[in-house]
Amino acid sequence: MDRRTFLRSTGAVGAVAGFTGCLGSGGLGDSNPDVVLEEPDREFESGDVPYPAWGERIPDVTVPAPVESREIRLRDVEQPSLLTFFYSHCQTVCPVLISMQRNIQAHAQNNRYSDAVSFFPITFDPTRDTAERLQTYAEEMNVDADDENWQFLRPASKDRAKTVVQDQFGVAFRRTEPEDMEMYMFTHSALTLLVNADGFVERAYRSKSPDQETIISDLETVRNA
């Protein structure tokens, strides 16, 4: 099934909220030569979900890293990486996802593999998430944005954010106008990807609160393969 067809047929937001089974720790195996971790216990095939799942290569996209004033082609990253999708004004899911990544970054720094992993939080709110805002957000979230392994990525426009985040990575989001707030917000699905050095997805963590110890363990297996 085509990913975009799947996304439209199930609704723009929460389309895959019920899918589980991508959190297994797995181990070394040869069931797919492109990945290190074995296929997780699940009830669907990778091609049947809107996001890039186990054994699939991530989309061939280039996204600006505004804090560093450069662009990053994600398939060119030559080491394992963790991708997630967020917006900085979120008050629910996003702080949890960013905090999880920050904790793994700290673990990498404390255990001397900081140069062997990259972190790429990708915003889908480029209007507000400017370079200056992202720098402030890094301070608010206690992220070490000075470490070269952490790069906030920001699509150049709202249309580009929709193309990259929703159409290509399958992370659904929809702008809302809460009556009790003076600013717009988003409802959105949650996704964290562990990608190997060749650009293939080792794990797609669908939880709104992924277990960081599981991710650290999976990352160690991928790093040491």
Query: Could you report the per-residue pLDDT of 59-112, keeping only the tens digit for each?
Result: 999 999 999 899 999 999 999 999 999 999 999 999 999 999 999 999 999 999
Asked if residues 170 and 50 have their Cβ atoms less than 8 Å apart, the reply is yes
- Give the pLDDT band of residue 31 (cuts 50, 70, 90): confident
Asked if residues 218 and 26 have their Cβ atoms less than 8 Å apart, the reply is yes
Asked if residues 57 and 200 have their Cβ atoms less than 8 Å apart, the reply is yes
Residue 2 dihedral angles phi and psi, to the nearest 5°? -65, 135
Mean pLDDT confidence for 109-133: 98
Identify the CA nearest to 131 among candidates 88, 160, 90: 88
pLDDT at 173: 98
pLDDT, one tens digit per residue, over 139-161 is 999 999 999 999 999 999 999 99
175, β-bridge pairs: 186
SS3 (DSSP) at 220: helix
For 94, the token pair is 């996003």
* pLDDT score of 192 more than 50: yes
For 98, the token pair is 């960013």
pLDDT at 5: 40
Q: Rounded to two decimals, what is the model's pTM?
A: 0.87
